[in-house]
Amino acid sequence: MELEALLTELLNARGPGGQEDEVRAICLRELREYCDEAYVDPAGNVIGVVRAACGGEAAEAIRVMAHMDEIAMIVKNVQANGTLEVLALGGAQPISFGVCPVDILGDAQTLPGVLSYGSMHNSGSTATGQDVLAGDVQWKDVYIVTRKSKSELEALGVRPGTRVVLSQHWRKPFRVQDCIAAHFLDDRAPLSAVIECARVLKTRRAALCQDVWFVMTTLEEESNAGAMYAAARLPGDTTIAVEVGPVLEEYATELSANPIINTGDQKGYYTRSVVQALLAATRRAGYAPQATLLVDFASDASAVLSMGLDAKAGCIAIPTENTHGFEMVLVRGISACASTLVEYLLEPQQV
């Protein structure tokens, strides 16, 4: 599928942590086309492998990970009048969504709702009203209006633990010159890049000297559980996470096609030899790498490395404005990431 069309399909698919079924189906379909084998593992990860043409030991295999889940909400309580109290699912803040339409993923039916903070026309006499007026809205101030009774919601399988996601009404991507803007480019843009990498790698298999395992992971935003399950079971000692990277002055990153090569984050530092190889691969692909240390960040690869489930790890990221908000990436940034990944996988030892 053409890259931008694939990205649009992924953006429209709903994928809260632990319930990424719509995203999973797309990823599985695409990896089946480009990989020698593709399947869903017991944890819910989508796995695909491109086998090396020129041999290679199992330990030399490389795992490439991008996550399927998106930031979302989870129901904490269903009030007597049918209003839902919600908490963050993943690294979401109320400002990530604003007052907006939502889809409530009940067991029996998907229901419409509206994420609400209450009216701006208030005197500030309540704590919620004070937060809204001050612009300091917290999750305790947030509720979902359903216009259903509690008993009706119970019959439809809406209960504590039900996922609530941004409605498909607001998921359509928006073109801004050379950029695409949308919610959930984290991690739909990296998923698109990984699928594009698999497509190209298949055509260049003759030069591939180790197996490549593509892993579309579940539950990255909450716990990295999918990545850790896969790393403990798949061959290989190296994991590369494909992510979105924040565009911020403090990190000296810019919104461009040039990939961000992350040297470390809050879970630890990436393997020096892998970082060097990714920098070299970026240059071979025709781009200027943006090397940076993303302090307030984490990835599947750093989680796997920090738990001792891997010997080496690295992270490549697509430069992204407004991470965990209404995000923006260059369309060319996705293909640049894919091209860099291909170059790295063909020459992972070059420093």
Q: What is the pLDDT of residues 270-286, one digit of tens each?
A: 999 999 999 999 999 99
* Average pLDDT estimate for 194-213: 96
* Average pLDDT estimate for 64-71: 97
Structural domains present in the chain: 3-70+184-346 (3.40.630.10), 72-169 (2.40.30.40)
> Could you read off the pLDDT of 307-343 as tens digits, one per residue?
999 999 999 999 999 999 999 999 999 999 999 999 9
pLDDT of 136 reads 76
Q: Say what percent of the chain tops pLDDT 70.
A: 94
Closest listed residue to residue 317, CA positions, set 286, 338, 342: 338
Mean pLDDT (the chain, rounded): 93
Instruction: Extract the tokens encoding 327.
Output: 């995000």
How many whole angstroms separate alpha carbon 182 and alpha carbon 335? Answer: 18
* Average pLDDT estimate for 227-238: 97
- Asked if residue 351 has pLDDT above 60, the reply is no
Count of CB atoms situated within 10 Å of the CB of 291: 17
- Asked if residue 350 has pLDDT above 70, the reply is no
Residue with tokens 């990860």: 45
Residue with tokens 């990277």: 245
Instruction: Extract the tokens encoding 137.
Output: 């809205």
Please list, in sequence order, all residues whose beta carbon lies within 8 angstroms of the beta carbon of residue 162, skipping any fewer than 6 positions away. 74, 75, 104, 105, 106, 107
- Asked if residue 123 has pLDDT above 70, the reply is no
Q: For residue 117, what pLDDT band results from cuts at 50, 70 and 90?
A: confident
Instruction: Extract the tokens encoding 335.
Output: 């293909």
Q: CB-hemisphere CA count at 13 Å for 294?
A: 25
How many whole angstroms separate alpha carbon 260 and alpha carbon 320? Answer: 10
pLDDT of 56 reads 66
* Average pLDDT estimate for 176-194: 96
At 154, the amino acid letter reads: E
> Could you read off the pLDDT of 8-40 as tens digits, one per residue?
999 999 999 999 999 999 999 999 999 999 999
Q: For residue 114, what pLDDT band results from cuts at 50, 70 and 90?
A: very high
* Average pLDDT estimate for 261-268: 95
pLDDT of 129 reads 66
Q: How many helices (H) and strands (E) does the chain have?
A: 10, 19
How many whole angstroms separate alpha carbon 75 and alpha carbon 175? Answer: 33
Q: For residue 134, what pLDDT band results from cuts at 50, 70 and 90?
A: low
Closest listed residue to residue 86, CA positions, set 76, 97, 71: 76
Alpha-helical runs (H) found in the chain:
3-12, 21-34, 94-97, 127-134, 150-155, 185-203, 225-231, 272-284, 300-306, 331-346
pLDDT of 250 reads 95
Determine if residue 194 is left, alpha or beta; phi over 0 gives left, psi from -120 to 50 gives alpha, anything else beta.
alpha
At 252, the amino acid letter reads: A
**What is the strand order of the sheet 37-40 is part of?**
37-40, 46-50, 212-217, 62-67, 238-246, 312-320, 260-262, 290-292
Q: For residue 137, what pLDDT band results from cuts at 50, 70 and 90?
A: confident
pTM of structure? 0.95
Determine if residue 105 is left, alpha or beta; phi over 0 gives left, psi from -120 to 50 gives alpha, anything else beta.
beta
Phi/psi for 11 (5° steps) reads -65, -35
* Average pLDDT estimate for 304-309: 94
> Could you read off the pLDDT of 40-65 as tens digits, one per residue?
999 999 999 999 987 667 669 999 99
Dihedral of the CA atoms 180, 183, 187, 191 (nearest 10)? Answer: -50
- Asked if residue 1 has pLDDT above 70, the reply is no
